[in-house]
Each structure stands twice: as C-alpha cells, then as structure tokens.
C-alpha cells in the first residue's frame, strides 16, 4: 500500500527513515573510533555507580530518611534513569543551540533544509550510546523491587511506558525552552548547568526537601515528574497518585510551551550576516 508522503502518516514514515539513516551514520562514525566510544560508555556507567555508592553509604548509617527506605530510594533512582537516559541520548546537547547554531550561524544550514528545524538539531546532537543508562535503571528497579517483595500487575509495564514518555517530555520541554533563549541572547546564558543540577533532585523523594524547593521542582522546573512522582505509582505507593497521573500532562504542556517559544525564536532569527 502506497503512503502519501504529505499526509501525517507519510511524514512520520519519512522522519523515522531519516532517524534510522542518521543513527546508521552515527554508528559508523563511532565505530571508527570504537575505543573512545566504549570509554564514553564506561564513563557513563561509572558516573551512575558513584550515585549508587552514595545512596548505599547514606543508608548504611540510617535505616530510613523521612520514612523512605534504601530500596524505595533505589527504586525511585532506577526509574529516574529511564527518562534521564532518553534526555542524555537526545536532548542533552540542545545547549549547543545558543553558541554553535545561533552565534556561529550554523542555524542557517538548518533552515534551508525541508525538515523541521528542532528535529534536525536533535538528530545532529544526539548521543544514542547514553541510552544505555536506561538498562542500569531497569536493573536497579528489578533489584530494589525484588527486595521490597513487589508483586507486578499487568498494567505496570504500559503505565511505566506512558510515565517515562511523559517524564522525557518534561526534559525535552525544559531544555528546548532554555535552548530557545539563545535566539534572543545570541549566546549561552549559562543556565544549562544550573538547571541540570536541579534536575538531579528529581531522583530523590520530594519529602526530604523544604516546601519552596518542593514547589519549584513540582510546578516551576517540574523535575519531580521525571523521577519521584511517577516512580511512587509504579512502586504501588498511592499517596501521590494525583501527581503521578499528571506526569504525561505536565510533559506535554512543558514541551508545547517550549516548542512555541522555539518557533517564536526561529521567526526572530536573522542569521549571522556573513
């Protein structure tokens, strides 16, 4: 059956095909320098190991923090690594937009191509090898869930997929918004590292933070929805179910607002003039 390439289904097929072609070329390039590739992966695993060691050290001294046990915190951290892996693989390098694409004029090249500009930037800056942190997250969830004697139910997997997708959209929205500011500032504001550090707070229970911090992480920079809130629902703790079920909504709202700002920034962009 022929697909009209101008229809929504046709465009989806075209974009998926381009993604696969980009991925194939990226793999060829990385395999040409395979030791660098594997060292990068090893470094990512070591970084996650440091965070795990920190959790184990803390809970070797105390049995629980604000009512949360070691395995519960581990489970939240493991879930956090799933959307974090998607962020690391596809959205982490949106911080290149202000300097590389706007200030140096690389965005001129993006705009002359007959393809969505945001999608092109994501493809050009993606790091698919960093998706492997998702495997670490799944292993941690299985380990901690087993220690808690969790009994999976049939809806856990589809629910987790929806929640992870919503959480990843939170990341995509926040970092697209920050990248969009480069169209006005024509340079990096230095906000990316600060926001990245704040995002790491989402891997711990919100109850360990004071009220203002909790409010910011829930409603201003909603990183509580990339780890804590959705993880509690998969953990079968239902005291935060209203927040957890909002995860896809928060993700969609974040991304839509950010994308509108991105489009406004593109309309403002005038190139380097060279």
Is 47 part of a structural domain of the chain? Answer: no
Predicted TM-score of the model (pTM)? 0.89
Output the pLDDT for position 220.
Answer: 93
pLDDT category of residue 23 using cuts at 50, 70 and 90? confident
Mean pLDDT across the chain: 87
148-176 tens-digit pLDDT: 999 989 999 999 999 999 999 999 999 99
Distance CA 255, CA 176 (A): 8
b/e burial code for range 112-129 (CB count within 10 A of at least 16 → b): eeeeebbebbbbbbbeeb
Number of structural domains the chain divides into: 1
Is 15 part of a structural domain of the chain? Answer: no
Distance CA 229, CA 242 (A): 9
Is 77 part of a structural domain of the chain? Answer: yes
Distance CA 92, CA 85 (A): 10
Is 85 part of a structural domain of the chain? Answer: yes
Of 196, 172, 187, give the one whose Cα is nearest residue 262. Answer: 172
Is 5 part of a structural domain of the chain? Answer: no
Is 17 part of a structural domain of the chain? Answer: no
68 bridge partner residues = 65
Contact 71, 120 (CB under 8 A): no
pLDDT category of residue 247 using cuts at 50, 70 and 90? very high
Range scoring the smallest mean pLDDT among 4-13, 159-168, 214-223: 4-13
Q: Is the pLDDT of residue 272 over 80?
A: no
Distance CA 77, CA 135 (A): 13
Domain hosting residue 89, numbered range: 67-268
Helix (H) or strand (E) holding 150: none
Is 35 part of a structural domain of the chain? Answer: no
Output the pLDDT for position 51.
Answer: 78
Is 84 part of a structural domain of the chain? Answer: yes
Residue 5 DSSP class: T
Distance CA 160, CA 119 (A): 25
Range scoring the smallest mean pLDDT among 82-86, 102-106, 107-111, 189-193: 189-193
Distance CA 230, CA 163 (A): 6
Distance CA 141, CA 145 (A): 6
């Amino acid at each position: 059956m022929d697909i009209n390439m101008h229809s929504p289904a046709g465009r989806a097929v075209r974009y998926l095909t381009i993604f696969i072609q980009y991925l194939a070329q990226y793999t060829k390039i990385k395999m040409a320098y395979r030791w660098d590739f594997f060292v990068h992966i090893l470094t990512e695993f070591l970084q996650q190991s440091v965070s795990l060691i920190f959790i184990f050290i803390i809970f070797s001294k105390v049995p629980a923090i604000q009512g949360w046990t070691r395995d519960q915190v581990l489970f939240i951290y493991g879930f956090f690594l799933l959307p974090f892996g998607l962020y690391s693989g596809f959205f982490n390098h949106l911080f290149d937009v202000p300097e590389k694409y706007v200030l140096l004029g690389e965005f001129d090249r993006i705009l002359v191509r007959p393809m969505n500009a945001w999608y092109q930037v994501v493809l050009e800056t993606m790091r698919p090898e960093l998706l492997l942190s998702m495997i670490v997250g799944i292993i941690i969830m299985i380990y901690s869930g087993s220690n808690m004697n969790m009994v999976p139910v049939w809806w856990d997997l589809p629910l987790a997929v929806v929640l992870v997708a919503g959480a990843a959209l939170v990341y995509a929205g926040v970092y697209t918004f920050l990248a969009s500011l480069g169209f006005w500032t024509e340079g990096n504001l230095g906000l990316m590292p600060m926001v990245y550090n704040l995002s790491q707070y989402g891997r711990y229970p919100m109850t360990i933070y004071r009220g203002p911090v909790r409010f910011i992480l829930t409603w201003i920079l909603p990183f509580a929805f990339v780890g804590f809130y959705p993880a509690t629902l998969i953990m079968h703790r239902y005291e935060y179910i209203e927040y957890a079920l909002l995860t896809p909504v928060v993700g969609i709202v974040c991304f839509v607002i950010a994308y509108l700002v991105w489009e406004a920034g593109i309309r403002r962009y005038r190139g380097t003039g060279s």
